[in-house]
Structure formats: structure tokens, C-alpha cells
Amino acid sequence: METLLQQIINGIVLGAVYALVALGYTMVYGILGLINFAHGEVVMVGAMVTLAVIKLLAGTGLPLVVQLLIGLAVSIPACMALGAGIERVAYRPLRNAPRLAPLITAIGVSIILQYLVVLVWGRTYHPYPELLPTTPFDLAGARISPAQVAIIFFSALVMAGLLWLVHHTRLGRAMRATAENPVVARLMGVNVNHVVTMTFAIGSALGAVAGVLVSINYSVAHYQMGFILGLKAFTAAVLGGIGNLGGAMVGGLLLGLIEALGSGYVGDLTGGLFGSNYRDVFAFLVLIVVLIFRPSGLLGERVAERA
């Protein structure tokens, strides 16, 4: 029973991070119909830049939480600029190209970003400082650390902020209008290129937060960390219904739970044949099952409504 609760807690923590990253995929897809496969690398850059800032601040004696916030204050705008820059340089010239072209470009951008990070910070695994207290407290037999609580809280806060932005601001309305019909949105006076830039920037800001949170969770950052994380978050977005914000949140949470529970029990279920090192398999099993049985995802629309 304790294990079950423990795995559920772990799953929610993991799922919150997947959800944040998945939102970046789904927002861009909603506006442009494009899968930005370089998004995982933006997440990684967010973790790396924050780490670099914290290392610079190491001697200052500032509290670790303050260092973390300063790190985020640098990495979030940096990632927003990076995401918007990727769109400007790598995707906008291909706006009317066959769909395969931006996909290949995305892979190229991913590799470039990974190796730029290698040039600056090297190939090593960087231990992430314990920015938040990790001494766990007891919750009905399961253990949950303040860091995990903070991850859930931060993610929920950021997601609530995003929903508010999309549903209650002028920019959010323009984003939804552009997602639905860019031609008509332009007729209303919406500068579609500006909306696209902002969409990439906001998705990248969420990605930067996610990168930091996931690094805190695993106490490590690495130039390839964005790859698997990005693929899993993409899976979460597809699971929820790509293009749908609520779907990305639900999909991320579900995927985190599936992964935690799966890796927690796979050993028992298979008599020890498979261990928890098979955890990554679950995400992709989910992807395959969703693509076969419900390609539009849990909250995805089956057909566009027409009058």
C-alpha cells in the first residue's frame, strides 16, 4: 500500500513536468500544425543556463531558493528568445514547404543545440545542487520531499497562469483565433507572425521551468536530457490530444502515473524478468496504443465542427 501511494506521488511529480513540456509541443502544434522536435533541447538549455547562473552565485551566500529564482529569471527569458529565434530562423522560411522539411530542420536544430551545450559545458553529467530541501516527510507511509511538493506547486501555478493567459487576455484570444483560422485572424488585424513568435516564446518559458524542475527532481543535468524528456512529453501531448491545452496537462499527468506505476510494479508482475530500468518503455507503449486506438487523443476532437 505504501508503495502504491509512493508511486502515485512519484508519478504526479513526473507527470507535472511532462505536462509543462507537453504544453510547449501542443501550443505550437495548435497554431502551426508543426511538431517542434527541438523543444526538448530548449528544456535542456533552460536547465543548463539555470545551473550556470547558480554556479556563478555560489560564493555569494544567497539562500539557495533565491539563487534558484535568479537562475530562472535568467533562463526563462533566454529560452523564450531561443524558442522564438528557432522559429524565426528554422521554421518561418519553411512555412509553406512540405511538412517533412520543418521536421528534418527540427532534428538539425536539436543536434546543433546539443553540441553548442557540449562546447560550453561539456559532455559530463552535471550534479544539480539541492536547491530545495529534500528531507522527506511522511505522508501515510509514503515519503514526499519539499522539492517534490515545490515541483507540483510550481507546475500547477505555471499551468494556471497559462490557462488564464490563453482564455482571458487579448494575446490569448489572438492565439486561439489564429489556431482556429489564421486567414480570418489576419482579417481581424492579428499579426499572425507575432502570435507565432509569442507562442514559441511562451512554450519555451514553460520548457525552461520544466527543465529546472526535472533537474532538481533527478539532481542531474546533461546535454542529452532533453531528448528522452522531449519524446515523452510529445507522447503525453498525443495522449491528451495534440493541439489541446487541457489534453497536454491530462496526458502529462497520466503518462507520469503510468510510468511510475509501471516501473514500480513491472518487476513483481514479470517475476523479476523486467526491472524498473524498463521505465522508458511505458511511455512509448502508451504512444503506440494511443496511435492505434485513439489517434486523436483523449481530449482531441474527432472532426472539426461545421455549421
Partner 1 sequence: MAKAVLDVLNLEVHYGGIAAVKGISFAVEEGEMVCLIGANGAGKTSTLKALVRMLPSRGEIHYGGARVDHDESHVLVGKGLALVPEGRGVFARMSVAENLAMGAYLRRDAAGVQKDLEEVYALLPRLRERQRQLAGTLSGGEQQMLAIGRALMGRPRLLLLDEPSMGLAPIMVQRVFELIRAIAERGVSILLVEQNARLALETCHRGYVMESGLITLADTAAKLAADPRVRAAYLGE
CA angle (81 as vertex; 78, 85 as ends), nearest 5: 140
Under rule CB under 8 A, which residues in 158-177 are in contact with partner 1?
A: 170, 173-174, 176-177
Task: Give the binding range for partner 1 (CB under 8 A) out of 178-186, 220-228, 270-278, 281-289.
Answer: 178-186
Which CB sits closer to partner 1, 1 or 183? 183
How many residues sit in the footprint of partner 1 (CB under 8 A)?
Answer: 21
According to the binding rule CB under 8 A, does residue 189 interact with partner 1? yes
Cβ(248)–Cβ(34) under 8 Å?
no
Under rule CB under 8 A, which residues in 190-249 are in contact with partner 1?
A: 190-192
According to the binding rule CB under 8 A, does residue 303 interact with partner 1? no
According to the binding rule CB under 8 A, does residue 184 interact with partner 1? yes
- Across the strands, what pairs with 227? none
Please, which residues have CB within 8 angstroms of residue 260's CB and are 6 or more apart in sequence? 7, 8, 10, 11, 14
Cβ(78)–Cβ(207) under 8 Å?
no
Output b/e per residue, 137-151; b: 16+ Cβ within 10 A: eeeeebebbebbbbb
Which CB sits closer to partner 1, 165 or 192? 192
CA distances from 48 to 23, 39, 175 (A): 20, 14, 30
According to the binding rule CB under 8 A, does residue 92 interact with partner 1? no
According to the binding rule CB under 8 A, does residue 22 interact with partner 1? no
143 residue type, one letter: R
Supply the minimum distance, in Å, between the C-beta of residue 146 and partner 1.
40
Which CB sits closer to partner 1, 60 or 169? 169
User: How many alpha carbons lie under 13 Å from residue 237 in its C-beta half-sphere?
Assistant: 27
Residues in the site for partner 1, rule: CB under 8 A?
170, 173-174, 176-177, 180-181, 183-192, 304-307
